[in-house]
Amino acid sequence: MRKTRYLVNTALEDGLITPSQHRYLVKDCTGNVRYPRGSVMVKTHKPINPSADPPAASRAYVDTVNYITSAWSRYLSVQLTPAREQIPNRVSDTRDFICKLLKHRFKQDCWLGTADIVDFYPNTKVSGGEETIRECVPPNLVGLCIEASRLIHSSLYVITPIGCYQLDGRYSIGLGHAAEVCDLNWRSVEQRVFQNLTEAQQAKFWCREIDDYFFVLEGLIADREAFISALKSADPDRPIKVSISTDSVDYLDVTIYKGHGFKTSGVLDTQPYTKPSYTGMHLPYKSHHPQSTFNSILSGYHNRSLITSSSLRVHIKQMNSTIKSFRMRGYPMKLLVRWLLQDTVKGERRFEEERKRQLTKRLEEHRQYKTARIIPLRLPYTPRTAALSSKLRVSTLQKAIEKSHHKLTPTNFGRVTLCNLKTANVKEATRPRGLLHAGMDERRS
């Protein structure tokens, strides 16, 4: 804690951070101090093989929520984000990926491929991360960011079944700046590999989301194999698993395949993809949450299918499957029809219009909201606020604020959201209110 405070105070005296940043960086340095908890956990989305050694794939997780250096980790993330946004062919999410994919036309004999960088975070060294920081942050902040990085990594430990160990100069999942550092560190490897390939050996289309690649190969078989070989040998310390198919592959949360119209259009189709370990254990409807929570969950499933489904047929099939899954968790049919079977399933034209709106206009809105400051509306639980939350539409409130003054946009003013809305617990929900009031009336009389 002393080192953290000293670094923050020195940075403020040197004018490297503002007073507001100073308050944020020391917010977890008072009261009961939390220490980082690291543990090795099984990858639940991977299959388990009892005869293998080890029987299941594992991964190191570090819980650094509200730890004394968590704010510094977030500070490094913010400083590295502008450079990360400039990485060529980087995709930020599924929507961005599909928008880029729809702009290309491919030949009939093309190969579809995916690649995964094995143990991307732990195989990225802190020394390489410091080189990335020197290259990507503003020159006047290089020294401060390097000191912050060393302070963060010197205090991280992982608890294993055989003891407690320090992370040996590696990154791990849980650090606020790990994604930015590892993403930018791999960029230099990626550039070196692709620069050594000839024009004929380059992929027709390729993109990357942190440690996951998707690419389409055309041309001679030898040229395609040269691209795959170069990708596999990019970095001996970070091996890559490559999968090739002539028909379909799974990438992120979509399946990319050659549909019925591929022969005439050259456009690849997409549909939603879920991992084999998916069990459909959604939030049960009888749980004590505000109605807006259930509405948001269903709306998210609808929008995901709308974005990732390239045809109305696929979208309807996905919605019907989702309805069955949620019905098993106690959701009423009327609510499911309202949020899942919307106008988008009533006709091809309506589906195409809404999907286009999601992929274009919503893309810009998503980018604005992603960078906007969040303004939480903290409502403690009372019968009055519970009734208010069921009627309050945050989007309507946001538009009213913007209408009152044209400069109060989500980008400038901030994004309003409901936060910390405590709900009735089980005791509150099962209390016999009528009998209680009757007993009170008798005592009063």
How sure is the predictor about 402, in pLDDT bands with cuts at 50, 70 and 90? confident
C-alpha distances in Å from residue 192, one per residue of 70, 113, 188, 234: 33, 20, 6, 8
39-84 per-position pLDDT tens digit = 777 777 677 777 777 777 777 778 777 788 888 998 999 999 999 9
| 323 vs 337: CA distance, rounded Å | 8
Provide the angle, in degrees to the nearest 10, between the axes of the packed helices 126-136 and 70-85. 60
Residue 33 has pLDDT above 80, yes or no: no
pLDDT of residue 381: 63
**How confident is the model at residue 412, as a pLDDT?**
65
pLDDT at position 443 is 46
At residue 374, the pLDDT reads: 67
- Alpha helices (H) in 14-169, listed in sequence order: 19-25, 70-85, 94-101, 126-136, 142-153
* 134 has a pLDDT exceeding 90: yes
HSE, side-chain direction, 13 A CA sphere, residue 343: 6
| The dihedral sign for the CA sequence 413, 70, 178, 17 | positive
Q: What is the pLDDT of the chain when averaged over all its residues?
A: 83
What DSSP assignment string belongs to 320-362?
Answer: HHHHHHHHTTT--HHHHHHHHS-GGGS-HHHHHHHHHHHHTHH
pLDDT of residue 298: 94
Convert the pLDDT of each residue in 173-216 to its tens digit: 888 899 999 999 999 899 998 888 999 999 999 999 999 999 99
Do 184 and 37 touch, CB atoms closer than 8 A?
no
Confidence of residue 386 (pLDDT cuts 50, 70, 90): low
Choose the weakest-confidence range: 157-166, 178-187, 261-270. 157-166
pLDDT in tens, 287-297: 877 787 898 89
> How many whole angstroms separate alpha carbon 334 and alpha carbon 322?
14
DSSP letter for each residue of 357-375: HHHTHHHHHHHHHHHSPEE
Structure tokens at 54: 């080890």
Residue type present at position 355: R
Residues near 102 by beta carbon (within 8 Å), at least 6 away in sequence: 267, 359
pLDDT for residue 291? 81
Tokens (6 digits) for 10: 């020195």
Task: Look up the pTM and report it.
Answer: 0.79
For residue 432, say if its preceding peptide bond is cis, omega within 30 degrees of 0. no
Q: Is residue 263 scored above 60 in pLDDT? A: yes
More confident residue, 371 or 212: 212
Q: Output 249 or 169, whichever has higher pLDDT.
A: 249
By C-alpha distance, which of 193, 181, 75 is closest to 136? 181
Averaged over 92-112, what is the pLDDT? Answer: 93
Helix (H) or strand (E) holding 391: helix 383-391
Q: Specify the pLDDT at position 445.
A: 46
% of the chain residues with pLDDT over 70: 83
| CA distances to 23, 116, 250, 252 from 214, in Å | 42, 9, 9, 9
pLDDT for the residue numbered 308: 94
- For residue 137, pLDDT over 70 is answered with yes
* The residue type at 434: G
pLDDT tens digits for 413-436? 677 776 655 555 555 555 555 544
Q: How confident is the model at residue 130 (pLDDT cuts 50, 70, 90)?
A: very high
Looking at per-residue confidence, does 423 or 383 come out higher? 383
Residue 153 is predicted with a pLDDT of 86
